[in-house]
Amino acid sequence: MYKATLQHGGKTYTYHDIGQIGEDRLKRLPFSIRVLLESAARNCDGFQVTQADVEKVASWSPAAADAVEVPFKPARVLLQDFTGVPAVVDFAAMRDAVKSLGGDPQKINPQCPADLVIDHSIQVDFNRTTEALERNQALEFERNQERFRFLKWGSKAFRNLLIVPPGCGIVHQINLEYLARLVFTDQSVLFPDSLVGTDSHTTMINGLGVLGWGVGGIEAEACMLGQSMSLLLPEVVGYKLTGTLSSLATSTDLVLTITSHLRRLNVVGKFVEFFGPGTGSLGIADRATIANMCPEYGATCGFFPVDGASLAYLRQTGRSEETLALVEAYLRANHLFRNYADAEQDPQFSQVVELDLGQVVPCLAGPKRPHDKVAVSDMKSAFESALTAKVGFSGYGLSAERVSGSARFQFDGTEYSLTHGDVVIAAITSCTNTSNPSVMLGAGLLAKKAVEAGLAVKPFCKTSLSPGSGVVTFYLERSGLTPYLEKLGFSIVGFGCMTCIGNSGQLDSSVGEAIESADLVVAGVLSGNRNFEGRIHPLTRANYLASPPLVIAYALAGTVRIDFATQPLGKNAKGEDVYLRDIWPSRDEVDELERRYLLPSMFKEVYNKIADGTPRWNALETPSCDLYPWDEASTYIRSPPFFSGMTRELPPVQDIKDARVLLNLGDSVTTDHISPAGNIARNSPAAQYLTSRGIQPAQFNSYGSRRGNDQIMARGTFANIRLVNRLVANPGPRTLHLPNGEEMSIFDAAERYRQTGTPVVILAGKEYGSGSSRDWAAKGPWMLGVRAVLAQSYERIHRSNLAGMGILPLQFLPGQSAESLGLTGRELISVSGLAGDSLKPGCLLKVSTDSGLEFQGKCRFDTEVELEYYRHGGILQYMIRKLI
């Protein structure tokens, strides 16, 4: 069914024609749902995907109220090294498990193409020098050689796995510029490119018209093994864009505006599809910036259907004309090509919202969440109000007398003063913006004008530029802007995800001591997508997301407590005041540079090098074997305990009885709180583990880099210094061991419970698990013995990850919470209804405490597939039993 042929270039191709469902039905469907329909039709085998599943997708309705479960097989899987290393570790361990159970280890291979880009390991150890790039990359290899060697082994041992070496760029920019196909054309069957990825910002690719979103590492591994993933057929919010951006607004300002808007509308679990005449005026880089921030506004994806701009981008990034012609022919034939100016093409949506691009103003987001938009004009007053506001997402609770606090310190022989709001980190970083030539060239032009005006950045401010690909270097250099960026301290420090992921490196000790001595609320300003507490740097309590030009502007100002309209950035050589408006580049200036210096040849030159590898990568020696030779002494790579004691037979599911509460948490607990990716604190359980194995603090590296070692990651679970646990008085990774009430590290408390066979649970508020898609945010709690999480609501990816690890995601009923029910976290908690056949997706389970309290919680296994994973103890155990 649905099969059709396409004649093109003298060849005959087969495809699955979604138009066969009927013109009236097809016209109703959003373009994102059409991609799901094509996948279902093409993969319909009567087993994983049935004809009934195809009909469910084809019958999508904007008025549908019932949850409809459908399968989806993405065309490929995307990994980065923080999440990719655990995936390859799990694949290696699965081979061992299959062999021990009498199966064939060679069955464990990616069945679906998988691309892994090593981009999260490099840190800003050196900056403000032209040597910073080389020195940081050398240190990256020194620290991560064992991880890189393991990944290189994986690239040889596993079929269908492409690994992009370190130093090439950020995964999402490489995906956009190089890996994306739009249409798979290398065989006789044509079909749309689609993907899932183990990074939240996989959604960036939707800006090109490729449907994709972030999933948990465990779910991605199942897709790699050929499993279709299960999802609830989503509501699709139509986001209509009209008008054009003002000359002062950038794509960053637009995305922060959209992020704030959609977060308020609550689009969690929904698709957002952009349409309207304003959409057509946006280039692919602008669309990709909007799609990138999808996790921050909470949707599953922010989709821009393919149009002429998508094809123009493929041409600009060096794809062949032959490929472009075939891509366009297929998309038009299969009703997947969009004309945003044609309202007749507008499908039906579950809900429609609208934004006039002309209303977008320059803005930032912060100080603690990416969806808290602050207009530049309000920035000074907003920050000063935050200082004394109640402690929360935009407050620090300082007394009036502490607002004027300051500290003096010596830096390179000169004395400086530091106070609240001073900028100590300014970073042009992350996939969100460094893929966008307009804002990068805008930043370079601003730097040029600032230098020519005699302005400078204070030398103690940690400035950095970490592009998403080498293409950025080309057009900045050829346009003559690089020297000006370097003059202000924005020299290139690496090609990877750096400051935005917490790889900001150390501040100078004198700066750090000054901050701590006066307990200052200092700021980081970065062109990233995440600014949660403790993520960018432990000492920058206020962190603001901004466009690359605004990053430079605030670095020049030296503080976020500035009104650019009335206060100058500094003085020129003549002693005259220089205001931001005096040096802000015009849209015409930026457009002219982009036309002249962004050339297809640059993309070809950069990406031709990927297949060749880098000298350091090529020099790595790796074992040649199918089963990985684990090194028991390794502190980077260990065989995980997930399959220890596993049997062929399905174990019975047991109710949870008399569990202790390990943590009692509030709202918006992120995966940065649950599984930090940044530095390993020297007084932490993870540090103690490393020290006991002879590792010096200088070699600790980060939690993210050690994700291949379960012992470190278990000790790093809930290790964020800003974690607020209601069982203890002060923020940090501490809890009470009950019933004796002794305060200790969370890991030590969990270990004591484990030794006595006591299960543990976690209490939480709204949006539990928001933020990056980190599989260790679910694996870590499993290691700590967590059987269930009881929260008011969940972030989509993290809830899926919990299910994939065999942890019960339980949800308070509407209007209820731990506080409203009187739960303190000191109770013994039991959950019944898990054993037997009564457990169903979305069912109500009985929760009781030793104090006599009884209430119901909603089981948040949303599909039968997730329930099946739970019964097996996790998704990987399910796959192993299936394969043998």
When pLDDT is averaged across residues 319-341 and rounded to a whole number, the result is 96
The rounded distance, in Å, linking the Cα atoms of 830 and 680 is 34
When pLDDT is averaged across residues 141-167 and rounded to a whole number, the result is 92
- Predicted confidence at residue 264, as pLDDT, reads 94
The rounded distance, in Å, linking the Cα atoms of 870 and 882 is 14
**CATH number of the domain located at residue range(s) 76-359 in this protein:** 3.30.499.10
User: Using an 8 Å Cβ cutoff, are 157 and 628 in contact?
Assistant: yes
Q: How is 553-612 classified by DSSP, letter by letter?
A: HHHHH-BS---TTTS-SEE-TTS-EE-HHHHPPPHHHHHHHHHHH--HHHHHHHHHHHHH
User: Which pair of tokens denotes residue 769?
Assistant: 């698990």
- Predicted confidence at residue 48, as pLDDT, reads 80
- Predicted confidence at residue 65, as pLDDT, reads 66
Higher pLDDT, 242 or 231: 242
- Predicted confidence at residue 218, as pLDDT, reads 82
Digit-coded pLDDT (tens) for 364-404: 999 999 999 999 999 999 999 999 999 998 899 999 999 99
Q: Is the pLDDT of residue 612 over 80?
A: no
- Predicted confidence at residue 229, as pLDDT, reads 87
**CATH number of the domain located at residue range(s) 642-883 in this protein:** 3.20.19.10
Task: Read off φ and ψ for residue 754, nearest 5 degrees.
Answer: -60, -40
User: Using an 8 Å Cβ cutoff, are 578 and 553 in contact?
Assistant: no
Q: Is the pLDDT of residue 358 over 80?
A: yes
- The DSSP H or E segment spanning 87 is helix 81-100
* Residue from 403, 608, 417, 435 nearest 519 by CA: 403
Residue ranges per structural domain of the chain:
3-72, 76-359, 363-598, 642-883
Q: How far is CA 428 from CA 22, 477, 549, in A?
A: 49, 16, 9
- Predicted confidence at residue 773, as pLDDT, reads 67
- Predicted confidence at residue 702, as pLDDT, reads 84
* Residue from 634, 630, 612, 666 nearest 791 by CA: 666
Higher pLDDT, 284 or 186: 284
Percentage of the chain beyond pLDDT 90 is 82
Q: Is the pLDDT of residue 245 over 80?
A: yes
Higher pLDDT, 865 or 337: 337
User: For tokens 């991560």, what's the residue?
Assistant: 144
Rg from Cα positions in the chain: 26
**All residues at 6 or more sequence positions from 367 whose CB lies less than 8 Å from its CB, including other chains:** 383, 386, 394, 523, 531, 541, 542, 543, 544
User: Using an 8 Å Cβ cutoff, are 214 and 295 in contact?
Assistant: yes
The rounded distance, in Å, linking the Cα atoms of 873 and 646 is 9
**All residues at 6 or more sequence positions from 47 whose CB lies less than 8 Å from its CB, including other chains:** none
- Predicted confidence at residue 862, as pLDDT, reads 86
User: Using an 8 Å Cβ cutoff, are 71 and 48 in contact?
Assistant: yes
When pLDDT is averaged across residues 84-112 and rounded to a whole number, the result is 93
* Residue from 671, 696, 669, 694 nearest 682 by CA: 696
The rounded distance, in Å, linking the Cα atoms of 855 and 776 is 30
The rounded distance, in Å, linking the Cα atoms of 158 and 91 is 9
Percentage of the chain beyond pLDDT 70 is 100
Is it true that 76-359 and 363-598 share their CATH fold? yes
Position 138, amino acid: A
Average pLDDT, the chain: 94
When pLDDT is averaged across residues 155-165 and rounded to a whole number, the result is 93
Return the number of other C-beta atoms located less than 10 Å from residue 21's C-beta. 22
- Residues, the chain, total? 884
Digit-coded pLDDT (tens) for 586-602: 999 999 999 999 999 99
- Predicted confidence at residue 842, as pLDDT, reads 93
Digit-coded pLDDT (tens) for 502-548: 889 999 999 999 999 999 999 999 999 988 888 899 999 999 999 99
User: Using an 8 Å Cβ cutoff, are 19 and 58 in contact?
Assistant: no
Residue 271: strand pairing partners: 236, 301
Specify the pTM: 0.85
Digit-coded pLDDT (tens) for 391-442: 998 899 999 999 999 999 999 999 999 999 999 999 999 888 988 999 999 9
- Predicted confidence at residue 419, as pLDDT, reads 98
Q: Is the pLDDT of residue 281 over 80?
A: yes
3-state secondary structure of 273: strand
3-state secondary structure of 332: helix
3-state secondary structure of 791: strand
**All residues at 6 or more sequence positions from 738 whose CB lies less than 8 Å from its CB, including other chains:** 660, 661, 826
Q: Is the pLDDT of residue 720 over 80?
A: yes
CATH class of 363-598: alpha beta
The rounded distance, in Å, linking the Cα atoms of 213 and 613 is 28
Digit-coded pLDDT (tens) for 108-132: 999 999 999 999 889 999 999 999 9
Q: Is the pLDDT of residue 290 over 80?
A: yes
